[in-house]
Structure 1
Amino acid sequence: MSGSRRDNVGKDLIFLGGLVVVAVALILYLVMDADTDVAGPTAGAAPTSISASPDERATESGVAPVERRQEGDPFALGDPDAPVAMVMFSDYRCPFCAKFSRDTQPELVERFVENGTLRIEWRDFPIFGEESKLAARAGRAAAEQGRFWEFNEAVYAASPDRAKADLSEDALIGFAERAGVADIDRFVAGMRGTEFDNAIDADLAQGNRIGVPSTPAFLINNDPVLGAQPTDEFVRAINEALNS
């Protein structure tokens, strides 16, 4: 092998090694930060009461929980007092978020949400450009009319398997109509305006604070699950959280 080729191979190995180190560091950061900043009681501490209000849980553990557990939250599915809470950070353009929505979420709802075991909470994490932010506004405009999850499902049902979704204004209006949003003019005004930006930015800030590296990312009782893992992995994590 020539000296030039050996140099190129060496550079490639160093580059690949660097990618592995970065990936491991991101995962460790998420795990460690979730445990220290938002995970609740430290190891060996008494478990937090699942019937406590968010403010009470924050007082008992010393830190604010990642989940909100707000009654009537349009961005949540399930009982606020469910023993297991799954917070998911998602982008409407993310093909792997769409895969989770289509393949895994319906089964988790049927198996765990409907019987009161699991609560699912959505967080906007629009990281793929202006169309992601536009879609996040559109989701909240649909939520104003009580059609958030229907809109969410309509967007993801039409998403490509691998590429990022094309979410123009016209496409989002079509999804709103498909989701049964009654007042489209009001929906469009919300989608084009900035009234939801503070809430969207708050979701982004929460995700960045705990080290979310990309979408989709999940915290199941504050234990991280990254990516659109197989459904069985979510079932395992939920059962583990339930029995811990």
Structure 2
Amino acid sequence: MVIAIVAVLAILARPADKPAEPADRPAAGGSGGGQTMNPFAGLARRAPNDPLALGKPDAPVVILEYADFQCPFCGRHARETEPKLVQEYVDKGLVRIEWRDLPYLGAESNDAAAAGRAAAAQGKFWEFHNAVYAKERRVNSGSLNEDALRDIARSVGLDVARFDTDRASAATRAAVLRDQQEATSMGITGTPAFIVGDTPVVGAQPYEAFKQTIDRQLGAQ
């Protein structure tokens, strides 16, 4: 894990909208053979039926996505890049995407993260995710305030009374905090940030950047 933290810290020094270079990967074992290991493998949860994940639990490559519902770059990724990743890799069983909450932009970010968890409790996290990111929103402008979140919940067919109860629960807030602490432990302080298998990728990079990283790892297996 120390190696993972150092690698991420080196990458995350870059601005969020700049390309990131792949992190160096340590050799496995130490007896030669040119094999490498994934220093981030322990972070992938691979839980069956995880409502905050897309793709098969045993997919060869897992993408960890650290994001904030108010982050404009996260929205760009959700609208422009993620659908292509789902079509070309997730739907074919090659990639799994696991969401991680990193609400760092203010109160509306924290409330939206809790709301996303409440949507997940009803099996509609990704519908909620897509509805939030469907348009650009000004940070802490009220576009994700209490009324807005409830409107989004209604629009994706949630039981709003249950939604309100779940997002206010201590368990929900604890789950969001766990993701935040995971990110912080690696020096991740901004969004979007991704760990694509064994490689940190920072910012709303184009589809081709993800494709290159994924294809390299699939080819090495």
| Alignment TM class, shorter chain as reference | 0.7 to 0.9
Q: Percent of aligned pairs with the same residue? A: 43
Secondary structure in 1 aligned to 2:163? helix
- Give the equivalent residue in structure 1 for 2:139: 164
Instruction: Name the count of aligned residue pairs.
Output: 199
For the pair shown, the structure with the greater C-alpha radius of gyration is 1
2, 6, 11: which is aligned to 1:27? 11
Matched residues in 2 for 1:146 and 1:234: separation? 27
Q: Which has the higher contact order (CA 8 A, sep 6+)?
A: 2
Q: Structure 2 vs 1, CA of residues 114 and 28 (structure 1 numbering), >3 Å: closer, same or farther?
A: closer
Q: Which of 160, 167, 174 is 1:191 aligned to?
A: 167
Which amino acid is 2:210 matched to?
Answer: F
Q: Give the distance between the partners of 1:99 and 1:118, measured in 2 at CA.
A: 20
CA deviation map 1:178-220 (0-9, x unaligned): 1121x11110122233331111111001101112131000001
* Structure 1 gap segments, 5+ residues each: 1-23, 49-60
Q: Secondary structure at the match of 2:98?
A: strand
Shift of 1:171: 0.6
**Corresponding residue SS for 1:218:** strand
Query: Structure 2 regions of 5+ residues with no counterpart?
Result: 1-7, 15-19, 30-34
Report the secondary structure of 1:85's partner residue.
Answer: strand
Runs of 4 or more consecutive aligned structure 1 residues displaced over 3 Å after TM superposition: 28-31, 44-48, 61-64
| CA distance, structure 1, for counterparts of residue 9 and residue 120 of structure 2 | 36
Within-5 A mapping of 1:102-141: 102-141=79-118
Q: Residue 27 of structure 1: CA displacement?
A: 2.1
Cα offset for 1:26? 4.9
Q: Is 1:236 aligned to 2:220, yes or no?
A: no
Question: In the alignment, is the contact (CA less than 8 A) between 1:84 and 1:118 conserved in 2?
Answer: yes
Q: Provide the rounded CA distance (Å) in 2 between the counterparts of 1:75 and 1:145.
A: 11
CA distance, structure 1, for counterparts of residue 191 and residue 12 of structure 2: 16
Query: As a proportion of its length, which structure holds more helix?
Result: 1
Shift of residue 29, structure 1, vs aligned partner: 7.2
* Alpha-carbon contact 1:76-1:122 (below 8 Å) kept: yes
- Check conservation: 1:91, 1:97, Cα contact below 8 A: yes
| Secondary structure, aligned partner of 2:129 | helix
Q: TM-score, normalised by structure 2?
A: 0.82
Any conservation in 1 of the 2:41–2:198 contact (CA below 8 Å)?
no
Equivalent residues of 2:117, 2:125 under 8 A apart: yes
